[in-house]
Structure 1
Amino acid sequence: MTGLWIVALAASASIVQAIPKNIELHADDWRSKIKNVVVLVEENRSFDTFAGGLTYNRDINGLVNHNYCNSMNASDPAQHDDVCAGPRANDVAPDDPNHSISGVNMQLFSTFHPNEVEVDKNHAAENMRGFVTEQSITFNTLNKTRAAEAINYYTPDQIPVFNNMAENYVLFDRWFASVPGPTNPNRAYLTSGTSHGHGSNDNAFGVYGLPQKSIFQQLSENDITWMNYQNSTTGPGKGFNPDAAFYTWTGTSGKNKTNIAPLTQFYADAKAGKLPQFTYINPECCSYQSFHPPSPISVGEKFIKGIYEAVRNSPQWDSTLFILTFDEHGGFGDHVPPPMNVPAGDDLTHTEKAHDGKNITFDFKRLGVRVPTLLISPWVEKGKVEHKGTNNGGEYNHNSIMKTLNELWGLEDLTPRITYSSTFEHLITNRKRKDTPATLPDPVVPR
């Protein structure tokens, strides 16, 4: 067939790249450039605290030119905004901010119990000024310096690895977490388009307890190769399962034994050119390489440097798209209100008790807080800052990954949230760059 792009064998002769079903590939099609997708999901940093201090591009919607302040007590009008964000956040955060759904309500709305009807009608109801108040409540402190760590931000010299990656590739400054809540519900949304009503890091995530179809099952059913490389722990009470191990199917199908591998295997496979079509990476959580407090920022920088250099120097680099994101904001401040009244993954709800002892119920129809996200490939522009999603009518959020994979490989949307999400294939260009750095700067270890 004239012009048909025939997908070749991967660098490893043992891995055959499947031709996407129902898609005719041509040499100028973005799909002809990308054979391998690598996704690394780090932990618990908002856009403003981690990337809001970047200065290489004035278009970045961060904190460098924005005076962002909170009150110690959001319910006291006399206090106004008496704690303001400043540069040089600590390498090790002294506290781990509250990032439960009820705690995030306080951070976004300055109350644990926003009027959801009014919230949907009035976007200004999200004042984004309760992060310091929530920090004060959670840690029972009136120390402004301590509480300000929830909104302080890093400077480029503190995060030279991430800064260099952003300077060389595409930075999204309007990419939202899926859920205004904790890690596992966000990771479930990212990998299946729903958390099946789970709004906390409950036991189900440690026992293959989620029944919905995930991206991992969907890829297997369509003969697309995948691996979940992980440096995590498994089982209830032992930490965090790698994300593929959330799902019942992964255990019953036996894929937990064949498709979940130690992180050391990732480095070996990358070097040998044997990465699968879809690589999903779980860092350790939450002590040293995930950025989740008390993980030092400098150690997290060393980790993402190693992942990047393994991908960049792999024989598969020329056909790879690497996405680096963070699962949620972790309670750290951001000045941009998340979109409201968006499609949930399903009709299930989550109920929990707030600090004031009263219940809140959440329907998953609000996105989470902005998180820093990078699109890395020899096929993307250098130093581009991508703002609001333009494709598909929705916003950029974690399900933009699944939606774009569906476009790449001809897969069906699993949930309404995926259908809603903006895709980013328009950022893939027709020019392969030769100036992508093979190594990144070393992280800065504070003295």
Structure 2
Amino acid sequence: MVCWSRSGSLFLTRAIWVVTVVMLTVSLAAGTIKITPPCALNSTNRTVTICTPGSSATVSVPVHIVAGTRDSSPVTSIQVLVDGNQIYQTNASFVDVYVNSIAAGAHSVVVNAHDSAGTFSKTIPITVSANAGLNNIRHIIYFVQENHSFDNYFGMLGPYRVSKGFSNNVDGLNLNATLNNTQGQPVHPYHLQTVCMEALSPTWNSSYHDVNGGKMDKFLNGAGSTKIDPTTTRAMGYYDQRDLPYYYDLATQFATSDRFFSPVLSNTNPNRMYLFAGTSFGHIRPDRPPAGGWTQATIFDHLDQAGVSWRYYYQDNGIYLPQWSTYQRDASKLQPIANWYNDIKNEPSLPSVIFIERAGPSKLDEHPPYNIQIGAANTAKILNALLSSQSWSSSVFILTYDEGGGSYEHVIPATAIPPDSIPPMLQTGDAQGDFGHDGFRVPLIVVSPWVKPHLVSHTWRDYTSILRLIETRFNVQPLTARDAAADNMMEFFDFTKASWLTPPVLLP
């Protein structure tokens, strides 16, 4: 098995799909900024915590394996074994490695740690997907709203699932968590009493400040002070099923994840660059594009090259694609959202890939301080039309959010492969960060007749996994090293049966 470690001691061999498979060996720079530990560790002494994949997860190649240790004595070495065969060893107290040469099927992953007293370990089963049945999906539709962390929106999803007869297997909010506000006063998570919360600061500098090296404890000490909330206490506020009944029911009936991240610790534009191009090519701010737009290739360019049909629906004049040179070539593929409701009635003519632009100027993108319930109702209108159309049986609709918006998030940002060799465009005084980490967790709902009902995934992904799903399904070349190594989201599907061919009745 061939793998690549973030310490650079081994290499990842990854397949780049063009017309035929070309095997390239690449060495990618690891993240230079330490955010430790890699995930929340078991509190018991002499234990190994496997951060990703989740136990019993279905994953794609390369398989990203991350683990940390809790030990009162120094850990002298860690080994990773797959099916009893050692594939990697390090002298560190944690491991972060991508495993490429692993066959489709069921496997056992063991992480052994060694100290002066001997060996302790953790074992999980995983299944590597062969991508069988993916051709049942003929339309991949994705819609990305604005500025909410997982804790802010879905931190109370676990108790809601219990109320509906399902397990609470969601890593949600701890209501006893305590952060100090700007006056040093302790604040616990609390239910927001407004659906129009004031915006916070999710910039690169604010985000690294909030993370605080992995302590996740500075959300109330950053930017965002206002006359209404001078101590930024609102960062600890959350919504629940009383505020977002449609989303809570949708996430429970279909599939979600409590380990889905934005791609970079910054605000909207750098993250949406990853959504289109698999990289922000160094940008960490909403920088102005050059005349004619950014020239980097987008997923839409690669779809064109592969002969895959696509369409881009816009809801108002808040359209991002004109900032890219792709728009100069493909402006005719942008259509008003009114056309969506007719187009889905004719499945054979519906494009293979559809991106729905958020409606910022119309205040429907849920970006604070806009009314989240009005935005959610608009999402429901768009999605419910699909559920009742002839295109439903062959579609997947993916709803997520572009970044956390500055709200509290207790889960440490995941590590990820840097997309390219371009460093962050730092200015004097900027936080020292890198592109070897994702941003904050964001809500995700995967809606399809082919999803595993009620699934909660615990495997690390960011929304370049949406790109990887598109690339896998339609044999499209990856854009960067990030999306090439991203998991392809096969875990969310069961193509042996269409469990929701008749959609469930959802709460309004």
Give TM class, smaller chain: 0.7 to 0.9
Greater length-normalized contact order (CA 8 Å, ≥ 6 residues apart): 1
Displacement of 1:428: 1.7
Match for residue 139 of structure 1 among 225, 244, 248: 225
For 1:202-241, what aligned pairs fall within 5 Å after superposition? Answer: 202-204=287-289, 208-233=292-317, 240-241=318-319
- When structure 1 is superposed on structure 2, of 287-296 and 177-186 the one drifting more is 287-296
Aligned 1:43-442 pairs, distance under 5 A = 43-54=146-157, 55-56=160-161, 57-63=167-173, 65-73=174-182, 79=184, 82-93=186-197, 95-109=198-212, 125-134=213-222, 137-139=223-225, 147-204=232-289, 208-233=292-317, 240-242=318-320, 244-251=321-328, 253=329, 255-256=330-331, 258-273=332-347, 274-285=349-360, 288-340=363-415, 342-352=417-427, 358-360=429-431, 362-388=433-459, 395-429=460-494, 430-434=496-500, 436-437=502-503, 440-442=506-508
Deviation at 1:426, TM superposition (A): 3.2
Q: Residue 311 of structure 1: CA displacement?
A: 1.5
Classify the secondary structure of the residue corresponding to 1:156. coil
Given that residues 448 and 500 in structure 2 are in contact (C-alpha distance below 8 angstroms), is that contact kept between their aligned partners in structure 1?
no
Q: Residue deviations 1:177-228, cap 9 Å, x none?
A: 01111112111101211112221122218x6521111100000111100011
Question: Deviations along 1:64-92, whole A, 9 cap, x unmatched?
Answer: x453222114xx9xx4x711111245200
TM-score computed with the length of structure 2 as normaliser: 0.69
Structure 1 residue 291: Cα displacement: 0.8
Please tell me the residue identity of whatever aligns with 1:426.
Answer: E
Report the Cα offset of residue 329 of structure 1. Answer: 0.6
After TM superposition, give the deviation of residue 412 of structure 1 in Å: 2.1
CA contact (8 A) 1:199 1:350 kept: yes
Compute the displacement of 1:352 (Å).
4.1
- Which deviates further from its counterpart, 52-61 or 268-277? 268-277
* 1:22 CA displacement: 6.5
Deviation at 1:286, TM superposition (A): 5.2
Q: What is the TM-score of this pair, normalised by structure 1?
A: 0.78
Equivalent residues of 2:346, 2:390 under 8 A apart: yes
Aligned length: 374
Secondary structure class of the residue paired with 2:239: coil
1:126, 1:335 → 2: CA distance? 9
Q: Which amino acid aligns with 1:315?
A: Q
Q: Alignment partner of 2:354: what SS?
A: strand
Report if the CA contact (8 A) 2:142-2:399 is conserved. yes
Cα RMSD after superposing both structures: 2.5
How far apart in 1 are the matches of 2:497 and 2:140?
Answer: 18
Secondary structure class of the residue paired with 1:267: helix
Q: Distance in 2 between matches of 1:327 and 1:338?
A: 14
Contact preservation (8 Å) 1:175, 1:373: yes
State the distance in 1 between where 2:489 and 2:373 align: 30
**Identical pairs, percent:** 25
Contiguous gaps of at least 5 residues in structure 2:
1-17, 22-130, 162-166
Helix, strand or coil for the counterpart of 1:307?
helix
Q: Aligned pair 1:39/2:142, yes or no?
A: yes
By how many angstroms is 1:39 displaced?
Answer: 0.3
Distance 1:297 1:359 in 2: 32
Q: In 1, are the aligned partners of 2:449 and 2:503 still within 8 Å (CA)?
A: no
Change in Cα spacing, 1:332 to 1:83, as seen in structure 2 (3 Å) is: same
Does the Cα contact within 8 Å between 2:175 and 2:189 map onto a contact in 1?
no
What is the rounded CA distance, in whole Å, between the counterparts of 1:198 and 1:208 in structure 2?
Answer: 18
The residue type paired with residue 401 of structure 2 is F
Question: 1:110-135 deviations in whole A, cap 9, x for unaligned?
Answer: xxxxxxxxxxxxxxx3111111111x
Q: Supply the distance in 2 between the matched residues of 1:263 and 1:269 (Cα, whole angstroms).
A: 10
8 A contact 1:21–1:409 mirrored in 2? no
Q: Aligned in 2, Cα 1:89/1:151: closer, same or farther, shift over 3 Å?
A: farther
Q: Any runs of at least 4 consecutive aligned residues in structure 1 with deviations exceeding 6 A, and if so which?
A: 20-23
More strand by share: 2
Structure having the higher helix fraction is 1
**Residues in 2 aligned to 1:104 and 1:313: alpha-carbon distance in whole angstroms:** 40
Deviations 1:223-257 (A, max 9, x none): 10001101242xxxxxx433x33321331x2x11x
Q: SS of 1:99's equivalent?
A: coil
- Alpha-carbon distance in structure 2 between the residues aligned to 1:62 and 1:132: 19
Tell me, in whole angstroms, the C-alpha distance in 2 between the residues paired with 1:211 and 1:317: 35
Give the superposition deviation at 1:416: 1.0
Which AA in structure 1 matches 2:319? N
**Unaligned runs of at least 5 residues, structure 1:** 1-19, 110-124, 234-239, 389-394, 443-447
Q: Against the structure 1 CA distance between its residues 22 and 304, is the aligned structure 2 distance closer, same or farther, given a 3 Å change threshold?
A: farther
| Alpha-carbon distance in 1 for matches of 2:475, 2:488 | 14
CA contact (8 A) 1:180 1:367 kept: yes
